[in-house]
Structure 1
Amino acid sequence: MNENDTKRLSRLTAILTQLQTKRLTTATSLAEKFKVSLRTIYRDISALIQAGVPILTEEGKGYTLMEGYKMPPVMFSESQANALILAEQLVLKNKDASFIKDYTEAIDKIKAVLRYSEREKVNLLADRTRFEQNVNRKRNSNNISQIQYALTNFLLIKMEYINEKNAMTIRNIEPFALISTTENWLLIAWCRLRNEFRYFRLDRVSKLEILTEKFEQHKMTLQQFFDKTS
């Protein structure tokens, strides 16, 4: 096997990983990622199909894998998969480009072997989490895992919240996103008491309960939320 064959085999494996990681992948994004031409990507996709990989084309949208096709599963619990996504956000703050590249590729491989429903959840969580380094490294909340679960499963949260005036209120909220500032974790959620999106500091949550009631997913990304509220 010559160097070109080795490179192509490596790219085909990486393309398969990308297809397993994301619900839809475009030829353009693959060409940009692997720094090859669109024609090369088309040939690679054709080669994977000929090898028996069930790749489907959604007209005008991109490529997707037939539901149910995956490599042997890795036995992660949902909370463990969520913890890996949170760790990815921490790694992205590292200053070393090679370290970020290696970790991101490892996370892509982990996502690729998760079940479809789990993969959709970790992708949602990755999109809805932002992290800024906590310079004091103080641990001032213990509800993140529960909130992550409620966020990705669209479950209502009931909590006792202490506001800046030290007054306690009971809120039913629809969790939308998690953000870490330099001092505190913040939860963005639709507050049913105030009938609007609110920011909640997790260190002010005195009690939290995940309810069985589901809410309708908010059809926007975190960036769209920022753009809308800025």
Structure 2
Amino acid sequence: MNKSERLLQLLTLLRARRTAVTARALAERLGVSERTLYRDIQSLTLSGVPIDGEAGVGYRLGRGSFVPPLMFTEDEIEALLLGVRMVQGWGDEDMGSAADSALHKIRSVLPDKMLQEQERQRATFLVPDTQRREKARYSGIIRRAIKDRQTLWLDYRDEQGNPTQREGNPLGLIYWGAAWTLVAWCRLRDDHRMFRLDRILDLKPTGQQFQLESHQTLEAYIRQYDPEFVDRAFL
């Protein structure tokens, strides 16, 4: 990656964030040293891009900053197309429709040459939707509950087939390649717990709102097992 490409990617990363991001996290994402990252930040600043920086906190774009429109490489378009196919094959119907709509919007602004290439490769990435409805069961309700911070009641069967009822604060959905799982703060166990969506017999929002302590979040749960993944996923 040459410097101009790296600066554009750095600008894209900063634009995607509303909060400050550390130099270390940016350098790791770009695959460069922190020293190179500091020089790149300086280059953008000298070219007129308003970047706010604070020692120990990180960088973010200043208010009212102008950023040029997005440009995609062919590999990025292929990655987006594959992502849409994955969401359509493994997600619920609402998410599949949203992903397809987003892809149409992206295709509408592509240069003619890139659009023709993308059209030619449309059938290159196929993700069968085998058992999609069972694997993604209740995911629409769960996604809304996560956004609304609303506690869920679950009628569930564990790995041994034993029935159990739980109330939990939904934190996130994780797809492991074979099954979707809900990560929640279980009120009965007072700890994080994972529930496979295909083992949920019934699920209902309770109408009760919840607030999270720092140790109860999805980030805190994942950090226990893979801190490096957290740094990538929550950048």
TM-score, with length taken from structure 2: 0.53
Structure 1, residues 105-150: CA drift from partner, whole Å, max 9, x if none?
Answer: xxxxx9xxxxxxxxxxxxxxxxxxxxxxx99943323222332343
Instruction: Give the number of the structure with larger relative contact order, counting CA–CA contacts within 8 Å between residues 6 or more apart.
Output: 1
Structure 1 CA distance for aligned equivalents of residues 61 and 148 of structure 2 = 23
Q: Does the 8 Å contact 2:22/2:56 carry over to 1?
A: no
* One-letter amino acid matched to 2:145: A
2:52 is aligned, of 53, 56, 77, to 56
Coordinate RMSD, CA, aligned: 4.3
Residue 156 of structure 1 is matched in structure 2 by 151
How far 1:31 sits from its partner (Å)? 4.4
1:216 aligns with 2:215: no
Residue 41 of structure 2 is matched in structure 1 by 45
Identity fraction in percent: 36
Q: Which runs of 5+ in 2 are unaligned?
A: 71-79, 88-105, 107-126, 227-235
Structure 2 CA distance for aligned equivalents of residues 42 and 59 of structure 1 = 12
Residue 12 of structure 1 is matched in structure 2 by 7
Structure 1 residues 156 and 53, CA, compared in 2 at 3 Å: closer, same or farther?
farther
Q: Does the 8 Å contact 1:154/1:216 carry over to 2?
A: no
How far 1:182 sits from its partner (Å)? 5.3
Structure 1 residues 70 and 193, CA, compared in 2 at 3 Å: closer, same or farther?
farther
* One-letter amino acid matched to 1:147: I
Residue 105 of structure 1 is matched in structure 2 by none
Q: Does the 8 Å contact 1:156/1:215 carry over to 2?
A: no
Q: Does the 8 Å contact 2:168/2:186 carry over to 1?
A: yes
Structure 1, residues 143-180: CA drift from partner, whole Å, max 9, x if none?
Answer: 223323433553322333345546463x3211234333
Residue 131 of structure 1 is matched in structure 2 by none
Q: Does the 8 Å contact 1:135/1:182 carry over to 2?
A: no
How far 1:38 sits from its partner (Å)? 4.7
How far 1:15 sits from its partner (Å)? 1.0
Structure 1, residues 32-85: CA drift from partner, whole Å, max 9, x if none?
Answer: 5545565543343223224443311121232122367575999xxxxxxxxx8x
Residue 27 of structure 1 is matched in structure 2 by 23
Structure 1 residues 37 and 206, CA, compared in 2 at 3 Å: closer, same or farther?
closer
1:205 aligns with 2:200: yes
Structure 1 CA distance for aligned equivalents of residues 212 and 69 of structure 2 = 29
Q: Does the 8 Å contact 1:156/1:174 carry over to 2?
A: yes
Residue 117 of structure 2 is matched in structure 1 by none
Residue 95 of structure 1 is matched in structure 2 by none
* One-letter amino acid matched to 1:41: L
How far 1:203 sits from its partner (Å)? 1.6
* One-letter amino acid matched to 1:59: A
